[in-house]
Structure 1
Amino acid sequence: MEWPSQSPGLNLIEQLWEELEKCVFGIRARNADQKCSQLQTAWAQIPQSLLTNLIQSMPRRCQAVIDS
């Protein structure tokens, strides 16, 4: 069986990490606990609509990979 190629377009966590990076960009943390707290706060502030849009886009993303 062939190993399937990597499909970054199907990895939603990458887009969520990008959103988190935008939220905490430029905010300094003194230690790992403070950075973790900043990330948790940013995670809680991600709009539900963004999560919904990412989930709802999966059929289109899957089809685009199949078409490619």
Structure 2
Amino acid sequence: MEWPSQSPDINLIEHLWEELEKCVSGIRARNADQKLSQLQTAWVQIPQSVLTNLPRRCQAGIDSRGFAD
């Protein structure tokens, strides 16, 4: 299968994981329940700007037909 050498980053979940990682990096958890609690807290703290930019990023990928400029 042909794949463009430079495709736009339209994997939206990666952007959300990046934000979660920023929030919990450096915070140790004693067990899985504590880590889950930390992640849930971080999830609600994701900046609204990250969420509002997701549709724009999707449309940019659609408009470019999978190719970066």
Q: Which residue of 2 aligns with 1:60?
A: 60
Asked if the contact 2:20–2:43 (Cα under 8 Å) also holds between the matched residues in 1, the reply is yes
Q: Please list every run of 5 or more consecutive structure 1 residues that lacks an aligned counterpart in the other structure.
A: none
How much does 1:11 deviate?
1.2
After the TM superposition, which segments of 4 or more aligned residues of structure 1 sit over 3 Å from their partners? Answer: none
Partner of 1:39: 39
Q: Kindly, what percent of the aligned residue pairs are identical?
A: 64
Partners of 1:67 and 1:18 in 2: how far apart?
A: 22
The aligned runs of 1:3-22 (5 Å cut-off) are 9-22=9-22
TM-score by length of 2: 0.76
**How many equivalent residue pairs?**
64
Instruction: Tell me how far 1:10 sits from its aligned partner.
Output: 1.7
Output the aligned Cα RMSD.
2.1
Given the two structures, how large is their TM-score scaled by the length of structure 1? Answer: 0.77
- Return 5+ residue gaps in structure 2 as ranges: none
Distance 2:20 2:57 in 1: 19
